[in-house]
Chain A
C-alpha cells in the first residue's frame, strides 16, 4: 500500500517535470492545439506568468492575441473593471461562436491578483488595459485600445479587433433573463397577494396608505435621493488629517448621503407640524389634547424650520437669512 502511494507521487512528479520541461520547447503546432483546447473550454484564457511567456511572449507565433489587463478581485478599487471584463467576455464569446476553428486570434486575460509581475513587466499602472499582440512584428502604439475615447462597449471592442486583425466579430449579447424574471416574479407575487385577499380589496382604496406612499416619494425626491442614486456620494466624509467627520458637505454642488437623510427627516417633521396644527382644530377629541396638539405642531414647525435653515446656511455661504439657531 505504502509502496503504491510512493509510486503515485513519483508518477505525478514525473508528469509535472515532463510538463515543465515540455513547455519550454512547445512547438507552434502544440501551442495552437493547446490554445484551441482552451478555447473549447472557455472563450477567454486566464494567463499566469508561464502561460503569458509561452503563448504571448515566445517567438514562433502565427496567431494574434487580444489581452485584457485588469483587476477583478474585490480588494482592488476598480469599479469599471468588472463591466469592462463583461463586455470583453461578450466579444470573446461571440468570436468563439462565429469562428471556432479560425486559429489566428485568441482572447486572454491577465488578472492583477494572479500575475502582478506581468503588470510590472508591461510597465502598467492602470487597469483595465486592452492590448493587441500581433502575429508578426512588434506592438505599435495603436495596438492599445483607447477606452477613454471609444468606451468599453462590446461593439467598440469588436471594432478595435476588426481594425487590428481584420476579423469581424458580430457581437451577440446573451439574453438576460434575470430582469424579466424578477419583474414577472414580483408581478405574480403582487397578483397572488391580491388573489388571496380577493374578498377584501378595500385596502386598495385606503386613502391614508396611498397618501403616505405619495408623501414618502415626495420626501425622497426632495431630499435628493435621486442625486445620490446617480452620483453615488459617500455616506459621510472624514478629514484624513484631523479625523473630523463631516455630515454636511459645505458646497452646494455636492451632497453626502447623511445630509440627505437629515434633510428628509427635517422636511417630514415640519410637514407633520403643519398637519398637526390643522388636525388640532378639525378634531373632535378632548379639548386639552387638541391644545397640546396645536402647541406641539407649532413648536415642531418653528424648531425644525430653523434647523433646516441652519443646515442650508452651512451649504450656501453668504445666505443672509436665519431663524432661532445660527
Chain B
C-alpha cells in the first residue's frame, strides 16, 4: 500500500522527503494566506495608507529614503507645531522606517522601481508572513513540528493580529510582533543550548525589537521573569546563566544606542527588574561555585550571614530613601498604582483614548474565536509536561492575558501566544486520535488479532473527534475572514457608504481637500485644524500645521481650541497671533459622517478652557440651560456664534440634505440648525469638497488702513 501511495506522486520520494514537502507546502500556503487576507482594503479602495499615525511614519520614511540616515537623524521638522517645530530623529523608534528604506533600496538595486508608498503599504502583510514562519519555528522548539504547523496556520489569520497589520496600516506594531516572536525563538534556543552564539543572536533580535516599538518593555520584563521562575523552581543551570547574562549585557548596551531610548535601560524603573535578575543570576552562580568548593556546614553559615547582611542593607536603604524623601511608600497613592483602574479614574487623557479601554469578553471572542478555549487546554498540556521552555510560554500567556484585559490594544501581544498554545492543544488532540483511526480494513484485522486492550467504538469516537476538530478549524477560518472583511479593513481616510438601493458610494473628500491645499496654497501657508488631522495634512498636503497627533504641548493645543471655540472677532486675534492662513474643519452634516468636528467640539472647549488664556471659555456656556449640547434653535448663543459653528454651517442653511426635511437639516445631529443666515467677516470660504466633509477657509489679511 505504501508503495502505491508513493507511486501517486510524480517523483519517487522517501517518506522523509514527502513529509518535508508537505510541511513546506503547508507553511508557504499559510504565509501566502497571511499576506493575502490583509489585502481587503487595497482591493476595495486602492493602495493607500490608513488612518493618522501611519501618515507620519510614511512621511518620515519618505524623508529617510530621500535624504539619507544622517539627515533623518538630525531632522528638525518645521512643518509641525508651528512656530515650535519638532525634533524628529530623537523622538521616534526608527526601526520601521529603516526597514522600509532597506526594502526600498534592495528593490531599486534590482530595478524594481516601486514608489516608497507601495513599500509602506505592503510592509505589514509581508511581515505577517514572516511572523507565520517564525511562529512555526518557535512552536516547533516548544512542542513539535505538527503543533508548529497548526500554530502557523492559526496566526496567519487571527483577527487580533490582523487588526493592526492590514495592508496600509503602516505602524510600529506591524513589524514589532515579528521582532518579538523572533527574539522569543532565539531566547528559547539560547536556553536550550546554553550557547553564547544563540544568546548573542537573541540580543541582536532584541535590539531590532527595541528600535521598532515601545512595547519592548514587555519583553525585557518577561525574559527576567522566566529566569526568576527557573531559579525558584530549582531549574537554574549553567545554560540559563550563560544565556541570560549574555542577552542582558549585550541587549542593554545595544538598546541604549537608540536615541529615543537613551539611558532608560539603566535608569528607569521598568528596566530594574531585568537588572535585579541579572544580579541574582550572578549570585546564584557564585553560590553554586562556592558550594562545590567548601563543606556543607561552612556554606550554610556563609549563606545565612550573607542573607542577613543583604536584608539589613535593603532595609536601611529603604529607610534612608524614605527619610530623604526619594520614595514615599506610606501614601495611599503609591498603592493605588498597583490597581489597574487607577489610570482610568485619575488620568483623563488616558481615559479619553479608546485604545486604552479595558477589553470586554465579546472582543476577546471576536478577535480570537476558538482560541479562547483551546488556549487554556494548551496551557494545561504545558503544565503536564513542564520543561524550561514550557515555563516561558506559560509565563508569556498569563502575563499577556493580564495586559490584554486591561487595555484593548494589547490584544496584539496576546494573539501570538494564543495561537501557539492553541496550536499545541489542537495538534496533541489530533495526534492522539489520528492514531486511533482505522484507515483500512486490513489494519483493523491486524489490530483485533493483536489483542488490543483499547475500548470499543474506538474508531468511531476517533472519527467523531477528528470531524469536530476539522469543523472547528473551518469555522475559525470563516470567522476570521468575516471579521477581517467587516471590521478591520477600512482605511478611514477614504470612506464608503451604502446607498438605499444597495450601491456603494466612496467619499474621497479628505484626499481631495489635501490635494487642493497642496496645489493651490502658498508653500509656507499655515493650516489650522484640530490635532487629529495634523499628520495627514503635513504628509499629504505638505503644509505647516499648528498641532498634530503627537500631543506633547498642551498649551498649544489649548490655543487652537480657544480659537475654535471663541466668537469670530476674538478668534481672528488668536489666528493673527498664530500666523494662520487657512482653517480646515471636518463637517459631516451632509453625509452623516459622525466623527466630525462638531461632535469633537466639546473636547476643544474643555482643552481650550484648561489654560489661563482660555479663562473666558466655560464649558457650561455651550450647553442649553437644561444641560444639553444642541445646534438647533434651542442651542446656547455662545455655541451658535462660535467660530467652529460658523465654519461648519456657513451656507448650509440653504441646502436640502434629506427628503421631507427643511433646509439646513444636519444628518448627524438629526436636527435643523439654529443659526442659518450669517456672513463671515474675517474669513472667506476657500474650498469645500464634493460631499462637504472638508471645508477650508482663508483668513483675510488685515485692512490696509485700519478699521473703516
Which residues of chain A have a CB within 8 Å of any CB of chain B?
Answer: 146, 148-149, 173, 175-177, 179-180, 183, 205, 207-208, 210-211, 214-215, 217-219, 221-227, 229-231, 252-255, 259-260, 263, 267-268, 270-271, 274-275, 277-278, 281-282, 287-288, 290-291, 294-295, 298, 301-302, 305, 308, 312, 315-316, 320-321, 323
Given A217-B401, A298-B465, answer yes or no on A288-B455 (Cβ-Cβ < 8 Å). Answer: yes
Once the chains are docked, how many angstroms separate the CA of A164 from the CA of B428? 72
B362 and A255 within 8 A (CB): yes
CA distance A148 to B358 in the complex (A): 24
Question: Can you identify 11 A-B contacts, CB atoms within 8 angstroms?
Answer: A173-B333, A177-B330, A180-B335, A224-B364, A225-B405, A226-B340, A230-B344, A254-B360, A255-B361, A255-B362, A281-B436
Q: Mark B396-415, 1 if CB is under 8 A from A, else 0.
A: 01100110111000000000
Instruction: Specify which of A146, A211, A298, A323 is in contact with B464 (CB 8 Å cutoff).
Output: A298
Cβ-closest 10 pairs across A and B = A211-B383, A224-B361, A287-B455, A226-B405, A176-B332, A221-B405, A291-B455, A270-B373, A179-B335, A175-B330
Stretch at the interface among B85-93, B287-295, B475-483: B475-483
Q: Are the CB atoms of B373 and A218 closer together than 8 Å?
A: no
**What is the CA–CA distance of A288 and B465 in the complex, to the nearest angstrom?**
17
- Bound form: Cα–Cα A287–B457 in Å: 11
Task: Give chain A residues whose Cβ lies under 8 Å from the Cβ of B404.
Answer: 221
- Chain B CB within 10 A, most for which of A177, A226, A301: A226
Tell me how far the C-beta of A228 lies from the nearest C-beta in chain B, rounded to whole angstroms. Answer: 9
Least CB distance from B320 to A in Å reads: 18
For the complex with contacts A180-B330, A215-B379, A271-B376, 8 further pairs of A-B residues with Cβ separation under 8 Å are: A176-B332, A221-B401, A223-B361, A224-B362, A259-B361, A271-B374, A274-B429, A312-B365
Question: In which size bucket is the chain B interface?
Answer: 35 or more
List chain A residues, Cβ under 8 A from B478: 321
Contact of A277 with B465 at beta-carbon distance under 8 Å, contacts A148-B619, A179-B335 already known: yes
Contact B405 A301 (CB under 8 A): no
B358 touches A227 (CB 8 A): yes
Identify which of B333, B335, B359, B475 contacts A224 (C-beta below 8 A): B359
Contacts of A270 on B, CB cut-off 8 Å? 373
Chain A: CB-nearest residue to B402: A221
Q: Contact between B330 and A176 (Cβ–Cβ < 8 Å)?
A: yes
Known contacts A175-B331, A255-B360, A290-B455: A278-B376 contact under CB 8 Å: no
A227-B405, A252-B362 are known contacts. Are A219 and B376 too (CB-CB below 8 A)?
A: yes
User: Most B CB atoms within 10 A — which of A263, A275, A281?
Assistant: A281
- Chain A residues whose C-beta falls within 8 Å of the C-beta of B482 in the assembled complex: 320-321
Complex: A177 Cα to B401 Cα, angstroms? 32
List A contacts of B380 (CB < 8 A). Answer: 211, 215, 271, 275
A231 shortest CB reach to chain B, Å: 7
Which residues from chain B contact A255 at a C-beta distance below 8 Å? 360-362
Is A316 a contact partner of B475 (Cβ separation < 8 A)? no
Contacts of A223 in B (CB 8 A): 361, 364
Name the distance in Å between A294's Cβ and chain B's nearest Cβ: 5
Shortest beta-carbon distance from A267 to chain B in Å = 5
Q: Interface majority SS on B: helix, strand, loop or mixed? A: helix
Give Cα A302 to B467, complex, Å: 11
Assess the A207–B383 pair: CB atoms within 8 A: yes
Do A301 and B468 form a contact, CB below 8 Å, given A218-B401, A221-B402, A221-B404?
yes
A226 contacts B376, CB within 8 Å? Answer: no
B589 within 8 A of A: no
Q: Whose C-beta in chain A lies nearest to the C-beta of B332?
A: A176
Say which residue of A175, A218, A287 sits within 8 Å of B456 (CB atoms).
A287
- Bound together, the chains give a CA A294 to CA B472 distance in angstroms of 17
- Give the CA-CA distance A230 to B357 in the complex, in Å: 9
B394 at the A interface (CB under 8 A): yes
Q: How far is the CA of A313 from the CA of B478 in the complex (A)?
A: 15
B384 close to A (CB within 8 Å) = yes
The verdict on B326 contacting chain A, using a C-beta distance below 8 Å, is no
Contact B372 A267 (CB under 8 A): yes
Q: Is the CB of B394 within 8 A of A271?
A: no
From the candidates B331, B359, B461, name the one contacting A298 in the complex (CB within 8 A).
B461
- Minimum Cβ distance to chain A for residue B414 (Å): 9
B329 at the interface (CB under 8 A from A): yes
Tell me, in angstroms, the Cα distance from A259 to B383 when the chains sit together.
29
The residues of B that contact A226 with a CB separation of less than 8 Å are 340, 358-359, 405-406
Q: Which residues on B sit within 8 Å (CB–CB) of A252?
A: 360, 362-363, 366
Distance, CA A197 to CA B136, complexed state (A): 44
Nearest chain A CB to B617 CB, angstrom units: 10
From B405, B432, B472, A278 is in contact (CB under 8 Å) with B432
Contact B332 A173 (CB under 8 A): yes
| Interface membership of B549, Cβ < 8 A | no
Task: Please tell me if the beta carbons of B332 and A278 are within 8 angstroms of each other in the complex.
Answer: no
Query: For B379, what are the chain A residues with a Cβ–Cβ distance below 8 Å?
Result: 211, 214-215, 218
Residues of chain B within 8 A of A219, CB atoms compared: 376
B254 at the interface (CB under 8 A from A): no
B432 and A281 contacting across the interface, CB-CB below 8 Å: yes
> B258 CB to closest chain A CB, in angstroms?
32
Q: Are A149 and B619 in contact (CB under 8 A)?
A: yes
Task: Please tell me if the beta carbons of A149 and B375 are within 8 angstroms of each other in the complex.
Answer: no
Knowing A205-B233, A218-B397 touch, does A224 contact B461 (C-beta < 8 A)?
A: no
Set of chain B residues within 8 Å of A274, measured between Cβ atoms: 373-374, 377, 425, 429
- Tell me which residues from 445 to 479 in chain B have a Cβ below 8 Å from any Cβ of chain A: 453-458, 461, 464-465, 468, 472, 475, 478-479
> Is B534 positioned at the interface, with any CB of A under 8 Å from its CB?
no
Residues on B with beta carbons closer than 8 Å to the beta carbon of A205: 233-234
- Cα–Cα, bound, A275→B380 (Å): 8
Residues of A within 8 A of B341 (CB): 229-230
Chain B residues positioned under 8 Å from A298 (CB to CB): 461, 464-465, 468
B606 interface residue (CB < 8 Å to A)? yes
**Once the chains are docked, how many angstroms separate the CA of A219 from the CA of B373?**
9
Chain B contacts with A in 320-364, Cβ cutoff 8 A: 329-333, 335, 340-341, 344, 358-364
Most chain A CB within a 10 A radius of its CB, from B362, B384, B453, B609? B362
B436 / chain A contacts, CB cutoff of 8 Å: 281
Contact with A along B66-99 (1 / 0, CB 8 A): 0000000000000000000000000000000000
Q: Tell me the smallest distance from the CB of B621 to a CB of chain A, in Å.
A: 11
Shortest beta-carbon distance from A187 to chain B in Å: 14
B9 contacts which chain A residues (CB < 8 A)?
Answer: none
Q: Does B386 contact A (CB under 8 A)?
A: yes
Q: In the assembly, what is the distance between CA of A179 and CA of B360, in Å?
A: 29
B515 in the interface (beta carbon within 8 A)? no
Q: How far is the CA of A278 from the CA of B340 in the complex (A)?
A: 37
Q: How far is the CA of A234 from the CA of B454 in the complex (A)?
A: 51
Verify B402–A224 contact, CB threshold 8 A: no
Tell me, in angstroms, the Cα distance from A231 to B247 when the chains sit together.
40
In the assembled complex, how far is the CB of residue A316 from the closest CB belonging to chain B, in whole angstroms? 7
The reply to whether A214 and B383 form a contact with Cβ atoms under 8 Å apart is yes
**Least distance between A260 CB and chain B CB atoms (Å):** 6
Is there contact, CB below 8 Å, between B398 and A218? yes
Query: B433 within 8 Å of A by Cβ?
Result: yes
Question: Using Cβ atoms and an 8 Å threshold, which residues of chain A touch B359?
Answer: 224, 226-227
B591 within 8 Å of A (CB atoms) = no
Q: How far is the CB of B452 from chain A (nearest CB, A)?
A: 10
Chain B residues whose CB sits within 8 angstroms of the CB of A230 once the complex forms: 340-341, 344, 358
Question: Per a CB cutoff under 8 Å, which of A253, A275, A294, A320 touches B465?
Answer: A294
| Residues of A with C-beta under 8 A to B465 | 277, 294, 298
Closest to B483 in A: A319
Q: Which residues of A contact B663 (CB under 8 A)?
A: none
Cβ of B641 within 8 Å of any chain A Cβ, yes or no, is no
B483: min CB distance to chain A, Å: 9
Q: Is residue B610 within 8 Å, beta carbon to beta carbon, of the partner chain?
A: yes
**Of all chain B residues, which has the CB nearest A207?**
B383
In angstroms, Cα B375 to Cα A270, docked, is 11
Q: Which residues of A contact B479 (CB under 8 A)?
A: 321
CA distance A219 to B341 in the complex (A): 19
Closest-CB distance, A160 to chain B (whole angstroms): 14
Q: Assess the B360–A227 pair: CB atoms within 8 A.
A: yes
* CB contact under 8 A between A278 and B429, given known A214-B398, A294-B461: yes
